[in-house]
Amino acid sequence: MTAKTSHRTWAEPYKIKMVELLHMTTRVEREKAIRDAGYNTFLLRSRDVYIDLLTDSGTSAMSDRQWAGLMRGDEAYAGSESFYRLEEVVRQYYGYRHLLPTHQGRGAEHIMSQLLIKPGDFIPGNMYFTTTRLHQELAGGKFVDVIIDEAHDTQSSHPFKGNVDLAKLDELVQEVGADCVPYISLEGNVNMAGGQPFSMENLKALHSYCREKGILIMLDATRTIENAFFIREREAAYAGKSVKSILREICDLTDGCTMSAKKDALTNIGGFFCCNDDELFQRAKNLAVIYEGLHTYGGLAGRDMEAMAQGLHEAVMEEHQAARIGQVRYLGNKLADAGIPIGLPIGSHAVFIDAKRFLPHVEQDSYPAQALAAEFYVESGVRAMERGNVSAGRDPETGNNRRPALELVRLTLPRRVYTQAHMDVVAECVVNVFQRRKQIQGLKMTFEPEYLRFFQARFEPLAKNN
Ligand code: PLI
C-alpha cells in the first residue's frame, strides 16, 4: 500500500479536538487503592488510574462524526431510522442478510447459544473466550478447543496462530458425531491467544469441511476487521486487497456472527447478532424481546446505533487500522527490545506479557499474572488485565483451576485514546517492575464469585517465603 501523504508509517489519521484530564496519584495512594481493590484491577476506581490499559472494550475515542451522529439518533421505540441506517452499513461491510442489535457482545452470545445449542452438544472453537464459553455452557453445551498448538506457545512466531486445527476438529466430530456439533465458534484475532489472526486459507478449508459435515460456522466478529488487516499483510494472495473486501470475504464464508461493537466498531456500547437463515432470525428476534428489547433496537438507544454505523465506516479505513496496529507494535517492540518476555507475534489490540517467564518463581495457583498486573498499577498507575488462571476459571467437572498454558498480563490499547509518550511511560513501568521481579510474590484468592470470577474476585498477597 502506498501512503497517501508522506508521514511516518503509523502516525494517527486524526487530530485531537477535546481532551480528558487525568488524575495523578502517589505510590502510597496506589498501594492503598490496590489493597482496597483486593489486588484485582477490575475493582479499582478509574479516577485512581493514570493510563488505563484494562481493555479496548467500549474505551475508544469517538470521532466528531460519531458525536454528531448522537444528535441524529432516532429514539423511536419501534422502527427507528437509526436501526435501518445501521442495518445498511452492516450489510455493506459484513454482508449478512439479517441484523439484530444487542446491548453488547454477550447479549448476542446469549441469544445465539440459546438458539443453536441443545444440552449435550459440543462447540469447537479456536480458543475459548470467557463470556462466549459461559453462554455455551449455560445452554448445556461443552466447549472444545481446536486451535492449532502454536497458539498456546507465546514464543511461536506462526503468522496465523488463530487457525483452526482441522485434524483436532475432525477427531471431535468423529468421536461425538456431527449431529452433536451445531456450529464451530470461530473468533477473528483470537483475544485469549494474544490477538492472533486466522488465515483465509484456513477459513476456506474449514468452510469446505463444515459444509460437508453440515456444521455451521458462527464468527465472533468482535475484532475481525483487525484480522482482515493481518490477512492482507501476511497472506500473499491478499497483498493488494482492501481490508473491506477481505472482511466481506471472511463473512461470506460463515453463516452468521456475534459482535461486540465496543471493539472494532469504535463505540462505547453495543453489539449485534447476524445470520443469513430466515427461520433462525425469526427465532432470534423473538428471544430478543425477552432479553434485550424490540428487534429494531435490541437494548441500544437510537444514538448508539448511529455511533456504531459511523464507527464501522471509520473502522474499515486502511489508515485507521495502520495507526491502530502500528501503535500496539510500537509498544510491543519497545518491550521486546528491553528483554521483556511478550507474546509473539505482537497482536492487534494488546501487548501480552508472559507472566510465567516474567515471574518463574511464582507457581500458577498463586496467580502470577494477577500479581503482575497489580504491580504494574502500583509502579506507575498503569492498569492492565490478567488473562491466565483467574480468567480461565475452574473446570466444571473437577472443580480445579484450569491452569491454562498461557498465563498472561494484557496491556490493551483503547483505540485513538493514548499517545506515543503514554506508550513510553508504559514501557518504562514494565521495565522497572522487571528489574525488581524477584521480590514479587504471588497472591491467594480470598473471594471467588460463581461466574466469570476474574471480574470480581479478591486476593491478598501471600506472606513472604510462603
Ligand atoms: O464485552 P461484550 O459483552 O461486549 O463482548 C464480549 C466479547 C466477546 N468476544 C470477544 C472476542 C471479546 O473480546 C469480548 C469482550 N471482551 C472484553 C470485554 C475484553 O476486555 O477483551
The CATH number of whichever domain residue 173 belongs to comes to 3.40.640.10
Pocket test for ligand 1, best of 191, 224, 385 (most atoms within 8 A of CB): 191
In a domain, 59, yes or no: no
Task: Give tens-digit pLDDT for 278-300.
Answer: 999 999 999 999 999 999 999 99
Residue 466 has pLDDT above 50, yes or no: no
5 among known catalytic residues: no
pLDDT of amino acid 414: 98
Residue ending a domain, among 249, 283, 315, is 315
For ligand 1, atom 10, name the residue with the nearest CA: 222
- Ligand 1 pocket test: pick from 136, 263, 308 the residue with the most ligand atoms within 8 Å of its Cβ: 263
- Residues within 6 Å of ligand 1 by CB: 55, 57, 104-106, 129, 131-132, 187, 191, 220, 222, 260, 262, 271
Q: What's the pLDDT at 442? A: 98
- Is 285 found in the same domain as 153? yes
> Are residues 296 and 354 located together in one domain of the fold?
no
Residue 305 within any structural domain of the chain:
yes
Asked whether residue 55 is domain-assigned, the answer is no
Q: Give the model's pLDDT for residue 168.
A: 98
Flag whether 6 is in a domain. no
Both 297 and 405 in a single domain? no
Are 310 and 329 part of one and the same domain? no
Considering the domain architecture, whether residues 308 and 377 belong to the same structural domain is answered as no
For the chain, the domain total comes to 2
Domain containing 262 equals 64-315
Instruction: Give the model's pLDDT for residue 403.
Output: 96
Do 179 and 108 lie in one domain? The reply is yes
Q: Is 7 within a domain?
A: no
Query: Is residue 465 predicted with pLDDT exceeding 90?
Result: no
Determine, yes or no, domain membership for 443: yes
Which of 315, 330, 350 is at the close of a domain? Answer: 315
Residue 172: inside a domain: yes
- Helix/strand/coil (H, E, C) string of the chain? CCCCCCCCCCCCCCCCCCCCCCCCCCHHHHHHHHHHCCCCHHHCCHHHCCEECCCCCCCCCCCHHHHHHHHHCCCCCCCCHHHHHHHHHHHHHCCCCEEEEECCHHHHHHHHHHHHCCCCCEEEECCCCHHHHHHHHHCCCEEEECECHHHHCCCCCCCCCCCECHHHHHHHHHHHCHHHCCEEEEECCEHHHCCECCCHHHHHHHHHHHHHHCCEEEEECCCHHHHHHHHHHHCHHHCCCCHHHHHHHHHHCCCEEEEECCCCCCCCCCEEEEECCHHHHHHHHHHHHHHCCCCCCCCCCHHHHHHHHHHHHHHCCHHHHHHHHHHHHHHHHHHHHCCCCECCCCCCCEEEEEHHHHCCCCCHHHCHHHHHHHHHHHHHCEECEEECHHHHCECCCCCCECCCCCCEEEEECCCCCCCHHHHHHHHHHHHHHHHCHHHCCCEEEEECCCCCHHHCCEEEECCCCC
Asked if residue 208 is part of any domain, the answer here is yes
Question: For position 329, which CATH number holds?
Answer: 3.90.1150.10
pLDDT at 464: 61
Pocket test for ligand 1, best of 129, 186, 300, 351 (most atoms within 8 A of CB): 129
Percent of the chain with pLDDT over 70: 98
Average pLDDT, the chain: 96
Catalytic hit among 77, 447, 451, 455: 77
Q: Do 284 and 348 belong together in one domain?
A: no
Do 401 and 363 share a domain, yes or no?
A: yes
What is the tens place of the pLDDT at every residue in 234-258? Answer: 999 999 999 999 999 999 999 999 9
Same-domain check for residues 285 and 432: no
Picking from 315, 331, 357, the residue at the C-terminal end of a domain is 315
pLDDT digits (tens, 9 = 90+) for 372-395: 999 999 999 999 999 999 999 999
Q: Which residue's alpha carbon is nearest to atom 13 within ligand 1?
A: 191
Domain identity same for 309 and 327: no
Residue 455 has pLDDT above 80, yes or no: yes
Q: How far is the CA of 343 from the centre of ligand 1 (A)?
A: 20
Co-location of 295 and 351 in the same domain: no
* pLDDT value of position 8: 67
Q: So what's the pLDDT on residue 312?
A: 98
Residues 122 and 43 in one domain: no
How does residue 9 score in pLDDT terms, banded at 50, 70 and 90?
A: confident
